[in-house]
Structure 1
Amino acid sequence: MAIALNTLVAEIDRHLDAARISDYCPNGLQVEGRAEVRRIVSGVTASQALLDAAVAWGADLVLVHHGYFWKSENPCVVGMKQRRLKTLLSHDISLLAYHLPLDVHPELGNNVQLAQRLGLAVEGPLEPGNPRSVGLLGSLAEPLAPAEFAARVAQALGREPLLVAGTRPIRRVGWCTGAAQGYIEQAIAAGVDAYLTGEVSESTVHSARENGISFLAAGHHATERYGVQALGEWIASRFGVEHRFVDCDNPV
């Protein structure tokens, strides 16, 4: 079954409420391809490996969390950017990207999807009262030792997280997928036993240790694989198109 590209983009934009979210990149259609969509390849980042997989499968559209045209990047179409855009344009493939809208969505978002895999009951935003809050707060059904919670994360994500073990069992958790180690201060202020994100900075370790909480860095890529998969499956079920998620693994 096929759907018009402009109809599909409008429906996804509406469902994710993308227009209301201020971001570091354009959300929605970033590169326009053929007018109808039958096959969608999704992935975390619009890397060359993902584009090549889309070409090989005969995809009409690539759906990602990390697209192009970030505010801080060089706008010149040279090198890696030229090769990526050439691949899309020469094969008439569209690129559709959603960054923060796919982090915060209450059903399809990265943070909610990660919570489902870790057995975390969502209780609210990481920063109560802040409408721009990206991360979430929640709790485990039963307290776990830091090493036990790290083992659960490893089993769910298929990789060992970096663990800075705190001094108490973990029941209340704050989390934010991706590169959100800077939110550890908000998590501490919220009274969590553990804070989980994708990446780590040198200062994060000291913040966790000196405040007696556990900290887990489970991988930027690994924590953000699930929102785009959920969105791709939502599109496929709603519009009858084919969808395939391609996991181009990244150790970060």
Structure 2
Amino acid sequence: MPNRHTIDAHLSQLLEVPRFKDYGPNGLQVEGREEIRHLVCGVTASLALIDAAIASGADAILVHHGLFWRGQDGRVTGWMKQRLQKLLAHEINLFAYHLPLDAHPELGNNAQLGRLFGWQAEQRFGDQELGFAGSLSAPQSLDELRRQMAAALGREVLAVAGDGRPLRRVAWCTGGAQGYFEAAIAAGVDVFVTGEISEPQAHYAAETGVAFVAAGHHATERYGVQALAQRLATDFGLSQQFIDIPNPA
């Protein structure tokens, strides 16, 4: 069985962690037991996921969103104390990969979301080249795309119309990447897909003719961590399971 140092080094190299500028640490965030046999993966290191991992007998948890968020208070009180207390008491390792997992060309959130819908990535765009852009497998209307995504993701999908053109080229960046919309427009696409929307994006869609789709931060980021956990299971002979903690965001 691999140990936590082997897993940490392997993931750092696989995901090219050193090349990313991120707001929190990527890699081993909480040190647990040395040997790892059973891995639980999930989107966010919430208390609910930690409790579920404990119940499953996990030695390690692999997530996209770890314990640290932009601008948070650094004190170990309240929810932070509760999460750390459970992890340390049960000697569970916590591995978290934010931007490196978004960007990976095969296992990342963007690559896996594109794979789910058959989108062919042809270029990268935006800060640290996190955004993907390419061709739809066949032209669609915005309503057809919205219905397809809602069925696959299991949630309502918000779509803001552009000028009504057939959708042939798509740009996408999972999670809270609404700020990438202008870069997506500049990439010459017909629709931009991400997880969230803020006030300006509806105006940009109306004024540029490029449609905007907000399909859910959590919903669009469930797939990279599963692909990464499956790769680890193959590479190291681990058992692994995905535990989804529902989130309406």
Q: Superposed, which structure 2 residues align to 1:183-198 within 5 Å?
A: 183-198=180-195
**Aligned runs of 1:102-181 on 2, under 5 Å?**
102-127=101-126, 132-166=128-162, 167-181=164-178
CA distance in 2: counterparts of 1:35 and 1:8, whole angstroms: 11
**For the Cα contact (< 8 Å) 1:126–1:175, is it kept in 2?**
no
Q: Which amino acid aligns with 2:120?
A: A
Corresponding residue number in structure 1 for 2:203: 206
| Counterpart Cα distance in 1 of 2:31 and 2:136 | 43
Counterpart Cα distance in 1 of 2:60 and 2:161: 42
Partners of 2:157 and 2:175 in 1: CA distance: 13
Percent identity of the aligned residues?
A: 54
Provide TM-score, normalisation by structure 1: 0.96
**Structure 1 match to 2:222:** 225
Q: Which residue of 2 aligns with 1:241?
A: 238
Letter of the structure 1 residue corresponding to residue 47 of structure 2: Q
Cα distance in 1 for residues equivalent to 2:182 and 2:11: 33
**Partners of 1:20 and 1:210 in 2: how far apart?**
36
Q: AA paired with 1:150?
A: R
Give the equivalent residue in structure 1 for 2:10.
11
Which letter maps to 1:243?
A: Q
Per-residue CA distance 1:199-239 (angstroms, 9 max, x = gap): 00011111111111111000000000000000000000110
Rounded Cα–Cα distance in structure 2 between residues aligned with 1:100 and 1:249: 22
What TM-score do you get using the length of structure 2 for normalisation?
0.97
Moved over 2 A (4+): none
Distance in 2 between residues matched to 1:159 and 1:146, nearest whole Å: 16
Cα separation, 2, equivalents of 1:53 and 1:15: 27
Could you tell me how far 1:71 is from its partner in structure 2? 4.7
